[in-house]
Structure 1
Amino acid sequence: MTRLTARSLTLGALLFLAGCASMAPKYEKPAPPVPNAWPTGPSYKEGQAAKAEQKPLAEVPWQEFFLDPQLRKVIGIALNNNRDLRVAVLNMERFRALYQIQRADLLPQVNGNAGLSVQRTPDDLSNNGNGRTVHQYDVGVGISSYELDLFGRVRSLKDQALEEYLSTEQARRSVQITLVSQVATAYLALASDLDRLKLAKDTLANQQESYKLSNSRFQAGVASALDLQQAQTSVDAARVDIARFTTFVAQDMNALNLVVGSSVGSDLLPASLSENLTPIKDLAPGLPSDVLLARPDILQAEYLLRGANANIGAARAAFFPRITLTSSVGFGSDQLTGLFKPGNFAWSFAPRITVPIFEGGRNKANLQVAQVDRDIAVAQYEKAIQTAFREVADALAQQGTIDEQVSAQHSLTGATAETFRLSQARYQTGIDSYLNVLDAQRSLYAAQQNLITARLVRLSNQVTLYRVLGGGSK
C-alpha cells in the first residue's frame, strides 16, 4: 500500500508539472504602422480628437445610431435572416467546440471498463493433455495514453485553438457591423432612386404642360415648329429617365432583399431620402491607436497572430521527448462471484517515453513553417491596421467637405430654379426663344438630381463612418 501511495504521489507531481511549461515565444504586440494622428488639411474638419464626454462609436449600439423606425426594423430582420452572418455564427460555434476538444487533451481520459473472455484450450496444447475452457472476468478504471505535457506541446495547441476561437468571435462582430452598414446603404440607395423617379415623373408632367402650351402657340402661329420639337425632346427625355429610374428602383429592391435575406414588406420601404436616418452629424473619431485597435477585423487579425505565436511553442516541443502514461486499477477473476474478493485486486502502470532520433528533418521544417506563419500573421495584422487607417481617413476627408457640397448644391438648385422661371416668363412674353427655356429646364433638372446625389453621399458617409470606426454591434 505504501508503494502504491508513492506511485500516486509521483503521478500527481508529474500531472502538476505537465501544465507548467511552455516553449512558445513571449508575445509582443507589433506597433501600429500608421501615424499617431489623422490627416489634416482643407479636406478635414478641425478638432478630430474625441471629447472626453463623448462615447466611442464602437460602444454605440446600432439602434442608437440609426433612428429611423422602418430602417431599424429592416436591420433587425437582416440580423435574423442573413446567411453570411449565420455562417459566421456557425463558424464561431465550430471553433469553440474545437477549442474544447483541444483543451480536453490537457486532462487524463479516465475510462471505465468491464469484460468477459472465454478461451478453449485444445487437448494437444494443454499441459496435461486434457483440454479445458477458461473464463476470465474483469472490471476496472484506467487512464489510456495520457501525455505528460512537460514541454508545453499540448498546452500550446490549446492556446492556439483558443486564439482561433476568439478570432471567430471578432469575425462575427465584423460581419454584423458590415451587414448593418450594407442594409443601411441599400436602403439609402433605394430611397434616393425613389426620389429621382419622383423627380422624373414631376418633370414629365411639367414638360407635358409646356408641350401643350407650345403646341397651342404653334397652332396659333405664335411659336415655330422648332419650339414645338424642342418641347417634344424634353418630354421624351423625361420619359427615358422614368423608365431608367424604374429599373434602378427594382434593382435596389432586389439588392435590399438579398442583403436582408428575405422579402422586405412594402410598409418598411422608404418613402424618400430622409435626413433623420442617422442621428450623429459630427463624429469625432479620436486617436488612431484607440480607434483602429478596437475594430473587430483588427482584433481578429491579432488573435490569429497570437495563435500563430502559440503554435511555435508546439513546434519547438516536438524536438523533446514525449511521455505517455497508461494505467488501470480493478478486479479480475475466473469466477463472476469471486470478482470483488480482496485477493483479486489488480493494477497496472505503464509509462512510455518517445525520443525523436531521426525524423528526416520533419520537426525542423515544422518549426520553420510555424515561424513563417507567425511572420505572415504579423504582416497581415499590420496590413489590416494600414487598410483601416486609410478607410477612416477617406471617410473623414469626405465628411469634412460634404456639408459644403450639399449647401452649394442647394444654392445652385435654387438659382437654376429662378433662372428657369425667368426664362419661361421671357418666352411667354415673346422676348426669348424656347431654346433658353429648354436650357434652363435641363440645368434645373440636373441640379435637382445632383442635390439628391449630394444628400445621398452625406448620409452614406455617416454609414461608412459607422462601419470604419468599428460601430457597436450590439
Structure 2
Amino acid sequence: MSKLCAQAQIKVAVLRRARLLPIAWALLLTGCSTLAPEYSRTELPLANDWSTESSAQDSQQLKAQGLSSELAMQLPWQHFIKDQRLAELIELALSNNRSLRQTLADVEAARATYRIQRADLFPHLDVGLSGNRSRLSSGTTETSYQAEAGLSGYEIDLFGKNRSLSAAQMEAYLATAETAKAAHIALISEIANAWLNLAADNSALTLAQETMANAQKTLDITNKRLELGVDSRVDVASAETVYHSARSDIALYTTQVAQDSNALRLLVGEPFDQRLLPAALPNSATLVTDVPAGLSSAVLLQRPDVLAAEHSLKSAHANIGVARAAYFPSLSLTATGGVASSVFADIFSGGASTIWAIAPSITLPIFDGGANDANLAYSKAQQRKALAAYEYAIQSAFAEVADALARRATIQAQLDAEQALVAAATRSYDLSLARYQNGVDSFQTALEAQRTMYSAQQSLILTRQADLDNRITLYRVLGGGLAESNIEQAEG
C-alpha cells in the first residue's frame, strides 16, 4: 500500500470522529497507482572509460593513495582552489552573481509550482458557520443556525492522473535544481578562468614592458655606434622595430588587463579589493590541486546537467501517464456534513441535528475528435525527445572530458619544450648581443635572437595559462564539487 493510501486511511479515522463520514469515504477511492510507463535508465551510449595514457597513470596513482575515482570527483572547490585570493573572489561571486541569483530563483519557483500541483492530490476542506432569522406570513419568527464542513469538486484520482501530474512537476523541479548546481559549478570555473586571463595578460604586459626597456637599451647602443660610424641607419631602423612592436603590445595588453578586470567585476557582482587580483600567472602547484582523472565514464551520470536531462526524461514519462488517464472516467465529489439547530448554543453542546449532503459525478469520454489520441502521441513524442536529449547530454559530457584529457596528455610535454626554447633563445640573445657589442657579429643576428626570445616568452605564457585552464576545465567537466551542491530536494 502506498504512502498516499496510508495517509487517506488516517484522515478517514479522524473525519469519522467528526461525523463527516461521506467525505471520509471519498479519500479511500483515490487511486494508488498511475498509468505512466515504468522508468529504467538506458545503457550508456558510449565507451566505459577514457583510454588515454594520462588516465591510466592517474588510475594507478589513485589506487596507490587508496582513493576512489568518485571520491576524487567530490573534491570541494574550497580544497581544489589553493590560491586564497581566487578563493575569496569565488566566495563573493557565489553570493552576489546576478545570473546565479536568477537561476536560484527559478529553483524556488519550480518548487512552489510542484507544491501547487501536489495539493490537488488532497481534498480542500472548507468550514462555515451561518445563521438565518426570518418572519413568516403567519406572523411567527424562525431562527436557524448551521455549522458545516465540506469539499467541492474534488476529483478522485482513480487512474493516477493527478499523481502523474504531481510526479511530472516534481521531476521538473528536480531538473531545475540540477541546472542550478551546474550553474554553480560553471560560475566557479568562469571566475577561475577570468582570473587566469587577467593573470596571463598581466604577465604579457610585464614581458612587453621589459622587452621595450631592453629594446631601448639596444637602440641607444645602436645610435651610439651610428655616431661612431660603426653601424648603419639600417641597424638603427631594425632596432626601432622591436622597440615599437613592444610599445604596441604594451597598449594592447593594458587594454586587455582593464577588460579582464571589468569581466571579473561583472562575474563577482560587487566591488572587491584590488589585492585579490593577480599581478602575474601563478605556479600551477600554488593555484589548484591536481585532479586525478582515472575514472569510469559512469561517473558522468552524476553530472548536474546530465541529471537535469534525466529528470526531464522522467517528467516526460509521467506525462504519458496523464495522457493515458484521460481515456478513463473521471469521478468528482462534492460533499458537506455538519449540524443544524434553532438555538446557536446547541450547535456546540450536542443538541443539534446532523445534516449532510453528497453529490458525486462521473464523466466518461465518448467522443473527443481524436484529442486524447493526439495528446498521448504528443506525450510519447516528447518522451522520445527527452530520451534523445538525455543520451546527447551524456555523449556531450563524455566528449568534453575526452577533449580535456587529450589536452592534459600533451600539455606537460609542450610546457617542457617551450621552457627549454625560452632558455635556449635567452642564451642565444645574450651571446649574440655580446658578440655584436664586441664587433664580432652583425646587429641583425642579435636582432633576430631578440625577436625569437620575445616570441618564445609570449608563447610560454599562453601555454602556462592553457595548462591551468585545462586543470580547471577537467575539474568542471567531471562534475567537480558535487558534494558541495546542497540545494534542497523535494520530499516525495
Provide the TM-score with structure 1 as the length reference.
Answer: 0.91
- Flag the 1:8–1:229 CA change in 2: closer, same or farther, 3 A: same
The residue aligned with 2:46 is 34
Bigger CA drift: 239-248 or 363-372? 363-372
Mapped to 2, the partners of 1:282 and 1:201 lie a distance apart of: 35
- Aligned residue pairs total 460
The residue aligned with 1:354 is 363
The residue aligned with 1:259 is 267
- Flag the 1:387–1:339 CA change in 2: closer, same or farther, 3 A: same
The residue aligned with 2:252 is 244
Q: How does 1:275-286 map to 2 (within 5 A)?
A: 275=283, 276-281=285-290, 283-286=292-295
The answer to whether the 8 Å contact 1:170/1:296 transfers is: yes
* Paired letter, 2:30: A
Identity level (%) = 43
The structural deviation recorded for 1:335 is 5.7
| Per-residue deviation, residues 106-150 of structure 1 (Å, max 9, x unmatched) | 1121111123457788xxxxxx6x799876542221122222111
Q: How does 1:65-214 map to 2 (within 5 A)?
A: 65-116=80-131, 137-214=145-222
- Flag the 1:228–1:465 CA change in 2: closer, same or farther, 3 A: same
The structural deviation recorded for 1:354 is 1.3
SS in 1 for 2:229: coil
Q: How does 1:330-345 map to 2 (within 5 A)?
A: 330-333=338-341, 336=344, 342-345=351-354
Mapped to 2, the partners of 1:209 and 1:270 lie a distance apart of: 29
* Paired letter, 2:117: Q
Mapped to 2, the partners of 1:335 and 1:328 lie a distance apart of: 21
The structural deviation recorded for 1:181 is 0.3
1:288 correspondence with 2:301? no
Match 1:423 to one of 417, 432, 442 = 432
Match 1:439 to one of 443, 448, 464 = 448
The structural deviation recorded for 1:32 is 1.3
- Flag the 1:342–1:10 CA change in 2: closer, same or farther, 3 A: closer
- Flag the 1:301–1:430 CA change in 2: closer, same or farther, 3 A: same
- Flag the 1:45–1:99 CA change in 2: closer, same or farther, 3 A: closer
The residue aligned with 1:411 is 420
The structural deviation recorded for 1:332 is 3.2
- Flag the 1:282–1:135 CA change in 2: closer, same or farther, 3 A: closer
- Flag the 1:337–1:213 CA change in 2: closer, same or farther, 3 A: same
The residue aligned with 2:320 is 312
Unaligned runs of 5+ in 1: 122-127
The structural deviation recorded for 1:344 is 3.6
Mapped to 1, the partners of 2:293 and 2:431 lie a distance apart of: 44
Match 2:459 to one of 439, 450, 464 = 450
The answer to whether the 8 Å contact 1:285/1:469 transfers is: no
The residue aligned with 1:298 is 306
Mapped to 2, the partners of 1:376 and 1:203 lie a distance apart of: 57
Mapped to 2, the partners of 1:464 and 1:190 lie a distance apart of: 17
Deviating beyond 4 angstroms after TM superposition, the runs of 4 or more aligned structure 1 residues are: 7-14, 116-121, 130-136, 333-341
The answer to whether the 8 Å contact 2:154/2:333 transfers is: yes
Mapped to 2, the partners of 1:68 and 1:48 lie a distance apart of: 24
The structural deviation recorded for 1:343 is 4.5
The answer to whether the 8 Å contact 1:203/1:238 transfers is: yes
- Flag the 1:218–1:131 CA change in 2: closer, same or farther, 3 A: farther
Bigger CA drift: 217-226 or 61-70? 217-226
The residue aligned with 2:471 is 462
| Per-residue deviation, residues 299-357 of structure 1 (Å, max 9, x unmatched) | 01001101110111111111111111221122335664665563543111221111112
**What is the root-mean-square deviation in Å for CA atoms of aligned residues?**
2.3
The answer to whether the 8 Å contact 2:22/2:358 transfers is: no
* Paired letter, 2:87: R
Provide the TM-score with structure 2 as the length reference.
Answer: 0.88
The answer to whether the 8 Å contact 1:49/1:287 transfers is: no
The residue aligned with 1:54 is 67
The answer to whether the 8 Å contact 2:226/2:232 transfers is: yes
- Flag the 1:48–1:367 CA change in 2: closer, same or farther, 3 A: farther
The answer to whether the 8 Å contact 1:211/1:232 transfers is: yes
Mapped to 1, the partners of 2:190 and 2:175 lie a distance apart of: 22
| Per-residue deviation, residues 31-85 of structure 1 (Å, max 9, x unmatched) | 11111121447xx554454734325343110001011000000000000011121
Q: How does 1:358-369 map to 2 (within 5 A)?
A: 358-369=367-378
